[in-house]
C-alpha cells in the first residue's frame, strides 16, 4: 500500500480542507490537547527526512500558565490573544549544534560530525534553518493527521524567546505554531493559491 495515494478524506484533512486558525481573540474550541497527543505528534513528525538525518528541530510545547506568561511577553501584540488562548503552542527551535548527535542519527557515515563542527554559527545557521523548517512543516502535517488544527506564525521577538526558553543552549527560535481544535465559525475566507502554471515548470 506504500505507493498508493491516500484517500480523499485524508487529503482533505491534511491539505484541502485544513485551515490556519488565527482569528483574534480566540480561534480555539475549549478542548484540551493532552501531553500524550503532543508526543504522538512528535513521533510522527520526527520521521520526515532531513539532510543526513541531522534533525535540528527542538520543540518546546507551551501549555502551563507560567510558560504562557513567558511566551506572551515575547509575542507581537497582534499575536498575543490567540496564542494565550491556544491549548498548546509549539516553539519550533533549531539547534546550531545539531552535529553533536550525528554519530547516533547518521551511523552510515561515522565521521559526519566533522562535516560541521569546524563551522561557526553563521555558517551553520542556513543548514539548521532549512532542516528545522522542514521538521516544523512535518509537525504541522502530523498534528493535522492526528486531528489537531494549527496556527503557524512569526510575529515574535526571537531574542526574547531564545532567552526565555533556550537560555544556555545553542538552540534558536525559528517559528511558532499554535495547536488545538479550531472553531470553524471563526475562520477567515480561504486565500487564493498560485496555480501550477504560475508557480511551476517542468524542465
Q: Can you give the pLDDT at residue 1?
A: 74
Output the nine-digit C-alpha cell for 199: 508557480
Round to whole Å and give the CA distance between 103 and 116. 12
Residue ranges in the chain modelled with pLDDT below 50 = none
Packed helices 121-145 and 35-45: angle between N→C axes, nearest 10 degrees: 120
In the chain the domains, ranked by start, together with CATH numbers, are 27-63+70-184 (3.40.109.10)
Q: In what order do the strands lie in the sheet with 149-153?
A: 57-62, 88-95, 171-180, 149-153
CA dihedral 195, 198, 199, 203 (to 10 degrees): 120
**What pTM was estimated for this model as a whole?**
0.96
Round to whole Å and give the CA distance between 120 and 198. 38
The SS3 assignment for 195 reads coil
CA dihedral 169, 165, 141, 57 (to 10 degrees): 0
Q: What is the DSSP string of 22-51?
A: --SS--B-S----HHHHHHHHHHHTTS--G
Q: Can you give the pLDDT at residue 2?
A: 87
Q: Do you find a cis peptide bond into 25, omega within 30 degrees of 0?
A: yes
Specify the pairing of strand 171-180 against strand 88-95.
antiparallel
Q: Can you give the pLDDT at residue 115?
A: 96
- CA 120 vs. chain centroid, Å, equals 25
Amino acid at each position: 500500500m506504500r505507493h498508493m495515494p491516500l484517500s480523499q478524506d485524508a487529503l482533505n484533512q491534511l491539505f484541502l480542507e485544513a485551515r490556519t486558525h488565527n482569528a483574534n481573540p480566540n480561534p480555539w474550541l475549549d478542548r484540551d490537547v493532552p501531553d500524550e497527543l503532543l508526543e504522538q505528534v512528535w513521533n510522527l513528525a520526527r520521521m520526515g527526512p532531513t539532510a543526513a538525518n541531522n534533525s535540528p528541530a527542538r520543540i518546546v510545547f507551551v501549555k502551563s500558565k507560567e510558560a504562557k506568561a513567558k511566551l506572551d511577553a515575547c509575542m507581537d501584540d497582534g499575536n498575543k490573544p490567540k496564542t494565550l488562548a491556544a491549548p498548546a503552542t509549539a516553539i519550533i527551535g533549531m539547534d546550531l549544534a545539531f552535529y553533536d548527535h550525528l554519530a547516533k542519527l547518521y551511523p552510515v557515515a561515522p565521521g559526519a560530525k566533522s562535516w560541521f563542527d569546524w563551522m561557526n554559527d553563521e555558517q551553520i545557521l542556513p543548514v539548521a534553518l532549512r532542516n528545522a523548517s522542514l521538521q516544523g512543516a512535518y509537525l504541522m502535517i502530523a498534528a493535522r493527521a492526528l486531528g489537531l488544527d494549527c496556527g503557524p506564525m512569526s510575529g515574535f521577538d526571537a531574542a526574547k524567546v531564545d532567552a526565555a526558553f533556550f537560555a544556555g543552549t545553542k538552540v534558536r527560535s525559528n517559528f511558532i505554531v499554535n495547536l488545538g481544535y479550531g472553531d470553524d465559525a471563526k475562520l477567515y475566507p480561504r486565500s487564493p493559491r498560485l496555480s501550477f502554471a504560475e508557480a511551476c515548470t517542468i524542465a
